[in-house]
Amino acid sequence: MSREHNKTPEEQLDPSRRRFLNTAAVAGLAGASMSVGLSACNQDSKPASAAPAAAAGHADAAHEGQNPHLKPGELDTYYGFWSGGHTGDFRVLGMPSGRELHRVPCFVPDALVGWGITNESKAVMGTKADGSLKYTVADTHHTHASYKDGNYDGRYAWINDKINSRIARIRLDYFICDKITELPNVQGFHGIFPDKRDPVDPAINYTTRVFCGAEFHVPLPNDGRDLESPEKYRSLFSCVDAETMEVRWQMLIDGNCDLVATSYDGKLAATNQYNTEGGYHYEGMMSAERDACLFVNIARVEEAVKAGKTTTIGTSKVPVVDGTRAANPDPKSALVGYVSVPKNPHGVNATPDAKYFICAGKLSPTGTVIELAKVLDWFDGKLDDIDKAIVAEVELGLGPLHTAFDGRGNAYTTLFLDSQIVKWNVDAAIRFHAGDKSAQYVVDRLDVTYQPGHVNASQSETRFADGKWLAVGCKFSKDRFLPVGPLHAETEQLVDISGEKMKLVADHPVRPEPHDFIIFKRDLLRPKQVYDMNEFPLAVKDQKEAGVFRDGKKVTVRIASLAPAFEPREFKIKVGDEVTIILTNLDKVEDLTHGFAIPKYNVNFIVNPQETKSVTFKADKPGVFWCYCTHFCHALHLEMRSRMIVEA
């Protein structure tokens, strides 16, 4: 334990913390979800923590800083991908302005684009036997993008749905969700991270796998067995193929998974574990002094899968390897290694220099720095104790959660309870941990408002962290914006980290409730301006191909839109028909999107230039129904309609 080590920095920064830690930490953390003890937490911590941060603010005056505010017509320099929390969406922001540019519907229906309405989106989302959507809620937490050579390559982003344990892939050329995979036999799918290259094949210098961690322990299979035997509940670590989106393999582990990180050499994936105890109430989950960070040796796992050393669970065909301690006694053949980390750690993040993973302590005020080379040494039998891979375990402040990097050797960790960001130097922390008590690893502290969760910096999760901007997702906004009733916006705060001192430069309200995000340079993406018609087998490629095609009770209405008209301008169907409308937008002009709404039939969707979509419904109401364009397109937008005549 690191109590001794912690003394000096703690005293140097804030002597009141130790007292607080002992009395209020647990209650305060619980408050994040249970609204218990928060006021006590704030009362205790606020006056104490405000002082050093304010001082820091003054000292910062010398640094000019960067301006996050854009003039009209100026473009942001970074993209930001934000999760949307239990809105279930994936958001695209321009940074540093913080302007929201897009929301990509993935797991839940979206009325704007017709996600969950069109046949194409339903096929991605998954349906029940009757054709209705399998799920309509989701909780997205983490989004990360595909890599090549240690930087984003602009192909894909992935996002998790914690509620229904699904992973969605977003194509970054069109910014649409094109695949959703449901992970079998897990609940609470939380952490997600793509690998950065293949552990074996040097030619594969890009992402081919996405790792997924499941938080909740459940009976395996969860088919009604072991309902009252929590000690038999288990959690799985999953690997999804980046291209096919099939689950490649799963791994039975001890404890649970929280967040996930991957190494730049492709050899290691890790997940921090806060419930190594297998507890099913929070007291149980926080009973152990140390939990763990689980390291997975990718190459060995895949060899095992290849060798058939797998089982399956229930009806799932996914091969499952055994990653429990019991099954992996010998480091030289072990698939996994468990590095111990203090008390309910949250967040595991890879440093841009590719050397370390850092776990934040959450209930422990510490950050744990694990050296990857030593973990690999352990797997090679060169290190007797995997905990010797811990090169630093230093006190940062109360409630450390997530860590970002500036590429200059500094880490920025959110302190949930302190409502602060602490900037600390990783090398100095390692020296301090090694015994150099003069090493001043804490560089700066900044108050944020309030209760920061995730933090990320521009390019922080790549080898090219540029140390320009830091965004922090504050879970509470309280008094920061005009009140709009009991539900508050969250505060995404922007910090200029280009100088020695952090400088808070902007508050952006966001609709609840984003969790994680990444920020990267704008020129890493190559979005397409319009669709390629050839990607749609159903496309109505010419107005001449439009019309009504009947096959018994099944009617296909092929419609082409070309501003300001739909072709055909009217079409007749009969009550009782099963109608499929296929609509292609023949307009080629960028940004010329059309909508298509059918009153009383609960249909609305859009078609972007050169895009094709379809809907299927039962004609159950006779009458005239004006199908009209819902997406402003043309001076004759209001006149852009087609008459659906449903004959009795």
Partner 1 sequence: MMIPQALRGLLLLAALLFAAPLVRADAYEAKLPAELNTAPRLCDYVPCAEVLPGATIFSERKGRPFYVEGYVEEKNGKRLAGYVMLSTDITDIPAYSGKPVVTLIGMDATGRFTGSRILKHSEPILLLGIPESALVRFNQQYLGKFVGDNIEIGQSRPEEDIIGLDAISGATVTVIAQNQVMMSSGAAVARQVGILERTVRPQARLLETGATPDWATLATEGSVKKLTVTPEQVGLPRAAQPFIELWYGYLNQPDVGRAVLGEAGWQNLLARLKPGEHAIFVIRSGGKESFKGSGFVRGGLYDRVQVRQGQDAFTFRDLDYLNLYGLAAAGAPRFDESAIFIIRSDAFSAAYPWKFTFLGNRVDRETGTRSFANFDSEYWLPAQYLDGGRPEVKKPAPPWLRVWQTRRYEIAAFAALLIAVAVVYAQRDRLTRAATRNNKWPVNGFKYSFWLISIGFVGFHLMAQPSITQVLTWFHALLFQWRWELFLTDPFIFLFWIFIVATVFLWGRGLFCGWLCPFGSLSELLYKIGGWVGLKRFQFKLPKVWHHRLKWVKYGVFGGLLAVSVLSMGLAEMLAEVEPFKTTFLVGLFNRSWPYTLFATGLLGLSIFTERPFCKYLCPLGASLAMPTTFRWFGLKRKSECGSCKACAVGCGSQAIDEHGRIDQRECLHCLDCMVLYTDDHACPPLVHERKRRGKAGQPLTPIGADGYYIPIKPVSAAAAQAAAANAATANAPSGMALQP
Q: Which is nearer to partner 1, 372 or 524 (CB)?
A: 524
Task: Please name the amino acid found at residue 123.
Answer: A
The 8-class DSSP code of residue 85 comes to B
Distance CA 480, CA 489 (A): 9
Per CB under 8 A, the list member of 209, 423, 445, 521 interacting with partner 1 is 521
Angle formed at CA 500 by CA 494 and CA 504, multiple of 5 degrees? 20
Q: Which is nearer to partner 1, 74 or 436 (CB)?
A: 74
Q: How far is the CB of 498 from partner 1 (least distance, A)?
A: 17
Per CB under 8 A, the list member of 62, 75, 482, 648 interacting with partner 1 is 75
Q: How far is the CB of 529 from partner 1 (least distance, A)?
A: 5
Task: Check binding of 534 to partner 1 (CB under 8 A).
Answer: no
The 8-class DSSP code of residue 277 comes to T
**DSSP of 314-339, one letter per residue?**
TT--S-EEEESTTT---TTT-SEEEE
> Of 183-191, 223-231, 309-317, 523-531, which segment contacts partner 1 by CB under 8 A?
523-531
Distance CA 208, CA 224 (A): 35
| Pair 104, 118: CB distance under 8 Å | no
**DSSP of 199-217, one letter per residue?**
SS-TT--B--EEEEEEEE-
Count of positions on this chain that bind partner 1 (CB under 8 A): 14
Distance CA 32, CA 475 (A): 9
Residues between 573 and 612 with contacts to partner 1, criterion CB under 8 A:
588-591
Per CB under 8 A, the list member of 145, 167, 417, 524 interacting with partner 1 is 524
> Of 286-294, 386-394, 503-511, 524-532, which segment contacts partner 1 by CB under 8 A?
524-532
Q: How far is the CB of 201 from partner 1 (least distance, A)?
A: 22
**DSSP of 8-60, one letter per residue?**
HHHHHH-THHHHHHHHHHHHHHHHHHH--SHHHHHHHHHHHHHHHHHHHHHHG
Q: How far is the CB of 73 from partner 1 (least distance, A)?
A: 7
Site mask for partner 1 (CB under 8 A), range 30-69, x = bound: ----------------------------------------
Q: How far is CA 514 from CA 39, 83, 386, 480, 492, in A?
A: 23, 5, 35, 17, 9
Q: Which is nearer to partner 1, 289 or 590 (CB)?
A: 590
Q: Which is nearer to partner 1, 174 or 282 (CB)?
A: 174
| Pair 471, 487: CB distance under 8 Å | no
Task: Check binding of 529 to partner 1 (CB under 8 A).
Answer: yes
Which token pair is 235?
């959690």
Task: Check binding of 530 to partner 1 (CB under 8 A).
Answer: yes
Q: How far is the CB of 206 from partner 1 (least distance, A)?
A: 13
Q: Which is nearer to partner 1, 76 or 545 (CB)?
A: 76
Q: How many CB atoms lie within 10 A of CB 65?
A: 14
Per CB under 8 A, the list member of 223, 385, 523, 542 interacting with partner 1 is 523
From the list 474, 472, 561, the residue with the least C-alpha distance to 519 is 472
Q: How far is the CB of 77 from partner 1 (least distance, A)?
A: 8
Task: Check binding of 77 to partner 1 (CB under 8 A).
Answer: yes
Q: How far is the CB of 458 from partner 1 (least distance, A)?
A: 14
Per CB under 8 A, the list member of 3, 7, 99, 526 interacting with partner 1 is 526
Which positions ≥6 away from 472 have C-beta within 8 Å? 414, 421, 448, 452, 454, 455, 492, 493, 495
Task: Check binding of 99 to partner 1 (CB under 8 A).
Answer: no
Q: Which is nearer to partner 1, 75 or 129 (CB)?
A: 75
Residues between 124 and 163 with contacts to partner 1, criterion CB under 8 A:
none
Q: Which is nearer to partner 1, 124 or 592 (CB)?
A: 592
Task: Check binding of 482 to partner 1 (CB under 8 A).
Answer: no
Which token pair is 291?
């939990």
Q: How far is the CB of 590 from partner 1 (least distance, A)?
A: 4
Residues between 293 and 322 with contacts to partner 1, criterion CB under 8 A:
none
Task: Please name the amino acid found at residue 64.
Answer: E
> Of 38-46, 73-81, 228-236, 446-454, which segment contacts partner 1 by CB under 8 A?
73-81
Angle formed at CA 86 by CA 81 and CA 90, multiple of 5 degrees? 20
Q: How far is the CB of 245 from partner 1 (least distance, A)?
A: 24
Distance CA 508, CA 512 (A): 12
Q: How far is the CB of 156 from partner 1 (least distance, A)?
A: 15
Q: Which residues of 373-406 are buried (b: 16+ CB within 10 A; e: fewer)?
A: ebbbbbbeeebeebbebbbbbbbbbbbbbbbbbb
H or E stretch covering 546: none
Q: Which is nearer to partner 1, 111 or 589 (CB)?
A: 589
Distance CA 425, CA 151 (A): 23
Task: Check binding of 396 to partner 1 (CB under 8 A).
Answer: no
Q: Which is nearer to partner 1, 75 or 482 (CB)?
A: 75
H or E stretch covering 518: strand 517-521
Q: Which is nearer to partner 1, 64 or 590 (CB)?
A: 590
- The binding site for partner 1 (CB under 8 A) comprises 73, 75, 77, 521-524, 526, 529-530, 588-591
